[in-house]
Amino acid sequence: MDRKIIYWSLFVHGPWEMYLAATTQGLCYVGSDHKGFEELRDWVQKKFPQHQLEPDDQRMHIYADQFAEYFQGKRTKFTFPTDFYGTPFQQSVWNALNEIPYGSTHTYSEIAEILQKPKSVRAVASAIGANPILITVPCHRVIGKNGKLTGFRGGLEMKEKLLDLEKAPSNAKG
């Protein structure tokens, strides 16, 4: 019987530290050191209870290399495979997030409008909060209607630093 494994590694690049995790199909989780390894462990137990976590820096190298390029300002999009699951609505929200250009921001209401569900702002926010792959699916590019930074699993300080890195405006248009 094949063991079901989620491989992980702690990625460190300058001040940036985050946990990367992947199945054999692709990256499935990115978490900040804000909440530590326990967040990854708890997430795997909840979402993939039949899987075991196994550290493997070598296997995670493909992901770490692209994150390093991103933090060096040499990469604006990730090209490695991903392997993550959500409800059809969550998937639609995450797909919309992937369309936000590097260096830009959108509001939660703009994402709801893009999805042609203008009254679903809270549901959009909930789906964004459930995004398992920080940065790769750029939920940090979503801000409040008033231009303020709002919830982010990695913490608002990390969100601000990511937007600064991308030189994204901190105010939404319209």
| pLDDT tens readout for residues 4-32 | 999 999 999 988 899 999 999 999 999 98
Domain extent listing, the chain: 5-71, 88-165
Which residues belong to the active site? 139
pLDDT tens-place string over residues 67-106:
999 998 889 999 999 998 899 999 999 999 999 999 999 9
For strands 16-22 and 27-32, give the pairing. antiparallel
Q: Residue 40: is its pLDDT beyond 70?
A: yes
For strands 52-55 and 106-107, give the pairing. unpaired
Give 152's pLDDT tier (boundaries 50, 70, 90). confident
Q: Residue 35: is its pLDDT beyond 90?
A: no
Q: What's the N-to-C CA distance of the chain in angstroms?
A: 55
C-alpha 94/C-alpha 84 separation (Å) is 10
The arithmetic mean of pLDDT across residues 31-58, rounded, is: 89
Options 1.10.620, 1.10.3470, 3.30.160, 3.10.450; CATH for 5-71 is: 3.30.160
The arithmetic mean of pLDDT across residues 112-120, rounded, is: 93
Class of the domain covering 88-165: mainly alpha
Backbone phi, then psi, for 94, in 5-degree steps?
Answer: -65, -35
pTM: 0.88
